[in-house]
Structure 1
Amino acid sequence: MGEVEETVADVGEFALIRRVTGNRSAGPATLLGPGDDAAVVAAPDGRVVACTDVLVEGVHFRFDWSPPEQVGRKAAAVNLADIAAMGAEPTALLVGIACPSTTRASVVDELSAGLAAEAARARAGVVGGDMTRSDTLVISVTALGTLDGRAPVTRAGALPGDIVAVAGKLGWSAAGLAVLGRGFRSPVTVVGAHRVPAPPYSAGPAAALAGATSMIDVSDGLLADLAHIAEASNVAIDLVGDRVPVDQRLIEVASALGADARHWVLTGGEDHALAATFPNASAVPPDFRIIGSVARGTGVTIDGKPYPGDTGWQHWR
């Protein structure tokens, strides 16, 4: 008979917390790491940028599609990208995990390894956490960041005449989801983009330093998220269709699946690219590519026309 794996109930709450937070790099901003009632994270700027996301098994991830380590990386990335979208540098993560008592302890170990690895990629650390029992596995992550003296880059600063640009991948996660949904596990690069997004963390502060007037993390789809900027800034955004890049690999996958690669690029979420507006083309940093412009009016168009159909992800729809 095979060896029976220990469950979270066998290990216990406090030992699990130590396994999630212990022996991990806490990041350069951590003054007091895990082990006390709370952590202490440096905020020399006098302000803390904070965001939180909740990922639910069966809604945001499936372990038959992604191993726990990759789910952990994704849980960290979706939060760290939001920090970067404010023009800030990530400093720390706080993690809460709720799961059934029958959950294998190795799942929690792998989740925490992924969380820590992605945090380290952004020069942040996991500084605290909590565990509790639940019928469904849920991961809640809170990310903290610092502006280093800069003003935050919000959704509300775009002005008529600005340039629209984007950094990072678009459409890859949606393509990977489509592949997995058909029961396939390759192409590996496409499926991997859905399992573990690669937000361009450094592009956020770079955009802020370059004078970005607004910025957003592309989590729900390029058109949907640009619509948030348009609404918050009381402007219209028009994209140049030929300037929105559709990678040849996505075209090949879409052809095989009978899908539309351009639709993935325009409306697919979870790539966590950064979309921003700049006062002129010369202000756009090298990591960004220009895809459109800002004008007076409302809404988002492509070559002056509204996009037909859904423009991105919405919960409960």
Structure 2
Amino acid sequence: MGPDSSQDAQTVSELGEFGLIHRVTSGRAQSSGTLLGPGDDAAVLAAPDGRVVTTTDLLVQNVHFRLDWSTPHQAGRKAIAVNLSDIAAMGAVPTGLLVGLGCPPDLPTSVVDELAAGMWEEARGVGVDIAGGDMVTATALTISVTALGDLQGRLPVIRSGASPGEVVAVAGRLGWAAAGWAVLGRGFRSPVAVVGAHRVPEPPYAAGPQAAAAGATSMVDVSDGLLADLDHIAEASGVGIDVRTDLLEIPQRLAEVASALGKDARHWVLTGGEDQALVATFSAGQPLPEGWTAIGSVIEGQGVTVDGADYGQEQGWQHWR
């Protein structure tokens, strides 16, 4: 149930904590997997597998999103997507979400309305609920999301399972969000598809469980950059990984944007984060699941190379760098 237009000018301090909670939760029906939703001290979710996969991500305004670049609705979708992507990267399916919101007292309630609508849209797109959360005063708009998932009887696909001789493959887009960030940073708002990739990632949610069922030996989502996130697998598994650029797709749209901005589209694909693609390793000779594309191999050694050599540039995003 959405707010009426007479309330759009209200601030969160005028509405109050409990009024705001009621505003964003009322009229939201819960699915059968949510046994007890918002309104009590804690939520109760079904755990069919007997194990619960859980992850948390924190998004801060002007670090992870800018409201002059994205609408609150888009920021809400992004907050959910980056968390559900981590669940998929473990080979699990999402079962529920908890959301914490910190915001200044003078924030218009209409911004919270839009954030909540975006969160619910992304959550419902994969069949899960926002089962609860918290709201507090903060100096900057901050969104904390905890996602829960179910392994459906499978072992989790972790980062430490890769072995030399295996194939490295990717599902989802690479480089698009980085291209969108570069376009927005130049003050442009198009191409829409590229800018939209920065505003709202499109993780291949189903590809994670599919890879797990197909025997993936390790997996990670690409949040910081392909090379940076592959390095997590290399380090955890005690192996080297070599990425072959001849196997990487450089979409024509990215090439056109890079040319217009004087940038290298291949660099975006190798190091750009926030596309929330999935990258995994599979036994050699095994057919890859539908939607997965080979981009390299696991080798003896350590670290990540590109075409057999050190990349020689920054490999992805790091906070506080």
1:228 aligned onto 2:232 = yes
Contact 1:28 1:124 in 2 (8 A): no
CA distance in 1, matches of 2:287, 2:107: 50
CA distance in 2, matches of 1:265, 1:294: 19
Alpha-carbon shift at residue 19 of structure 1 (Å): 2.4
Alpha-carbon shift at residue 283 of structure 1 (Å): 3.5
Residue 57 of structure 1 aligns with which residue?
61
CA distance in 1, matches of 2:110, 2:129: 21
CA distance in 2, matches of 1:130, 1:188: 34
Q: 1:234 to 1:92 in 2, by over 3 A?
A: same
The answer for unaligned runs of 5 or more in structure 1 is none
2:232 is paired with a residue whose SS is helix
Alpha-carbon shift at residue 27 of structure 1 (Å): 3.7
TM-score, structure 2 length as denominator? 0.96
1:135 aligned onto 2:139 = yes
Greater mean deviation of Cα atoms: 162-171 or 13-22: 13-22
Percentage of matched positions with identical amino acids: 66
Residue 222 of structure 2 aligns with which residue?
218
Residue 17 of structure 1 aligns with which residue?
21
Residue 317 of structure 2 aligns with which residue?
313
Q: 1:164 to 1:28 in 2, by over 3 A?
A: farther
Alpha-carbon shift at residue 24 of structure 1 (Å): 2.5
Structure-to-structure mapping, 1:112-261, within 5 angstroms? 112-261=116-265
CA distance in 2, matches of 1:264, 1:289: 18
1:84-120 deviations in Å (ceiling 9; x for gaps): 0000000111001111110000100100111111111
Q: Which runs of 4+ in 1 moved over 4 A?
A: none
1:98 is paired with a residue whose SS is strand
1:42-77 deviations in Å (ceiling 9; x for gaps): 002111000001111111111000000000000000
Contact 1:26 1:92 in 2 (8 A): no
CA distance in 2, matches of 1:45, 1:36: 25
Alpha-carbon shift at residue 186 of structure 1 (Å): 0.3
Alpha-carbon shift at residue 80 of structure 1 (Å): 0.3
CA distance in 1, matches of 2:262, 2:98: 41
Greater mean deviation of Cα atoms: 10-19 or 204-213: 10-19
1:244 maps to amino acid:
L
Alpha-carbon shift at residue 308 of structure 1 (Å): 1.4
Equivalent residue pairs, number? 316
Q: CA RMSD in A?
A: 1.3
1:282 is paired with a residue whose SS is coil
Residue 76 of structure 1 aligns with which residue?
80
Residue 303 of structure 1 aligns with which residue?
307
Alpha-carbon shift at residue 179 of structure 1 (Å): 0.3
Alpha-carbon shift at residue 31 of structure 1 (Å): 1.2
The answer for unaligned runs of 5 or more in structure 2 is 1-5
Contact 1:237 1:292 in 2 (8 A): yes
TM-score, structure 1 length as denominator? 0.97
CA distance in 2, matches of 1:291, 1:284: 12
